[in-house]
Amino acid sequence: MPDKSYMHSQESLKPKNKPADYKQFIILLNWLKKPKLMQTSKEIYDTAQRPAPLIEEILALIKYKDLVIQFIARAIKTRYKRSILGVVWTMLNPLLTMIVLTLVFSQLFRFSIKNYPVYVLSGLVMWIFFSSSTNSAMGEMLWSGSLLGRIYVPKSVFSVSAVGTGLVNLLLSLIPLFLIAIVLQVKITPAILVMPLAILLMATFALGIGLLLSATVVFFADMMPVYEVILVIWMYTTPIIYNIDIIPVQVRWLFKLNPLYYMITIFRDPLYNGTVPALSFWLIAAGFALGALILGGVIFTSKSNEYAYRI
């Protein structure tokens, strides 16, 4: 739908003078005549009889699921509202980064990774998904303070919708990823059918970390810049632009403590190698994902009563 708003001048938007209150009166009468939706089931809020914070939050989240959808839609709509290419940027962004990395690393350092663009791009889209989800989970929590002080909303909607937004963007960037893979004649096998599970585990992990960060940032606004630094370090200690084989054997165990190593491998291998990674990778990734979600969920909800006092 063309956005007509640009054509309106401020002046023309002012409500026009109407003959007396006639129109208002009719509207009001119509309103009064209409049967109202009566709420039959009575909601009772009793501070002495509340379920455990985690359960209360999950129940509220289910009730407010449409809010999550609204937040995701808003994030995607407003992000590109005034740009010409719009949502195409979601696909172009990792692609351009990939081209730069490919030029730098495959030419300059002569990495012996075949089909380097596919290798780096598959790692990169997952990385962008994780970093942007967790970062905006924290940011949304911080910037929504004035809202939280006025009306009740389950506070985890910010983290959930941040991960949801990241997920939509990830799905969009799968399009260029597969295009590149086809162009470079990577052999696509049925192994790619397990990729959704890898994405799900990453989303679970990102939500857990996002909740944890959101709980922290309420008490320390400094967490935002600190996390940005952490993200830079995290990115370079994760085998995204390089292969873990180039890491000396003595310290390789250290790199294998990194949850993202597993998350990215189980996503990348099915496309890049055409194989399903070993079960141990899946179990470790699932362990990290669930562990992060439970830890994040418990810490976030145990502090959630205090947020309205703090923000």
Partner 1 sequence: MPTEFNSGVTDLTEMDELPVIQFENVSIRYRVPRERLSGIKEFAIRWMQRRIQFEDFWALRHVSFNVSPGEVFGIIGRNGAGKSTMLKVMAQVLKPVEGRVIMRGRVAPLLELGGGFHPELTGRENVFMNMALLGHSRQLTTKLFNEIVDFADLHEFIDAPLRTYSTGMVARLGFAVATSVRPDILLVDEILSVGDSQFQQKCIDRMDDFRHQGTTIIIVSHGMGALETLCKRALLLEKGFVRLVGPVEQVIQEYIAENKPIVIEPEPAGPLPPLVPLELKPMPAPVPENGFVSLGQEGGIYPAQNILEPGQGAVMVWLKIKHDYPPRDAVIFHTDDSRYILYISLQYFSSQKRYIRKLIARAGGNKRVIDTYYGTSDFPEVGVVIEDVDAPRKYILNKDEWYLVTMTWQGYPAGNVCMYINGERLGERPYDSRYDQGNDLPGSISIGLRPRVWIGEIIHEENGKTKELRPDSFMSISEGGIEIHNLRLYQRGLDQAEILQTFEKERGVMLPIPGD
**Residues within the interface to partner 1 (CB under 8 A):** 1, 3-5, 8, 10, 13-15, 21, 23-24, 27-28, 30-32, 34, 36-39, 42-48, 63-64, 66-67, 69-70, 73-74, 77-78, 81, 146-153, 220-223, 226, 305, 308-309
Nearer to partner 1, 153 or 168 (CB): 153
Q: 117 — phi, psi (to 5°)?
A: -55, -40
Nearer to partner 1, 23 or 256 (CB): 23
How buried is residue 125: exposed, middle or buried, by Cβ count under 10 Å (0-12/13-18/19+)? buried
Provide the minimum distance between the beta carbon of 291 and partner 1 in the complex, in angstroms, as a whole number: 24
3-state secondary structure of 41: coil
Nearer to partner 1, 81 or 110 (CB): 81
Nearer to partner 1, 24 or 275 (CB): 24
204 contacts 287 by C-beta, under 8 angstroms: no
Provide the minimum distance between the beta carbon of 192 and partner 1 in the complex, in angstroms, as a whole number: 33
Provide the minimum distance between the beta carbon of 47 and partner 1 in the complex, in angstroms, as a whole number: 5
115 contacts 141 by C-beta, under 8 angstroms: no
Provide the minimum distance between the beta carbon of 21 and partner 1 in the complex, in angstroms, as a whole number: 6
Provide the minimum distance between the beta carbon of 223 and partner 1 in the complex, in angstroms, as a whole number: 7
Nearer to partner 1, 13 or 84 (CB): 13
3-state secondary structure of 189: coil
Provide the minimum distance between the beta carbon of 311 and partner 1 in the complex, in angstroms, as a whole number: 9
Place of tokens 């401020």: 10
Provide the minimum distance between the beta carbon of 237 and partner 1 in the complex, in angstroms, as a whole number: 22
Provide the minimum distance between the beta carbon of 172 and partner 1 in the complex, in angstroms, as a whole number: 20
H/E run at residue 118: helix 116-143
Residue 34 token pair: 């209409």
Provide the minimum distance between the beta carbon of 68 and partner 1 in the complex, in angstroms, as a whole number: 8
CA distances from residue 283 to 266, 275, 289, 300 in whole angstroms, order as listed: 10, 17, 10, 25
Nearer to partner 1, 64 or 282 (CB): 64
Nearer to partner 1, 36 or 187 (CB): 36
95 closest CA partner among 124, 115, 119, 75: 124
Spell out the residues 6+ positions from residue 45 whose beta carbon is closer than 8 angstroms to its own. Answer: none
**What does the DSSP assignment read for 15-32?**
PPP-STTHHHHHHHHHHH
261 closest CA partner among 239, 282, 234: 239
Nearer to partner 1, 68 or 293 (CB): 68
192 closest CA partner among 122, 241, 243: 122
Nearer to partner 1, 9 or 280 (CB): 9
Place of tokens 């208002």: 24
Q: 39 — phi, psi (to 5°)?
A: -85, 110
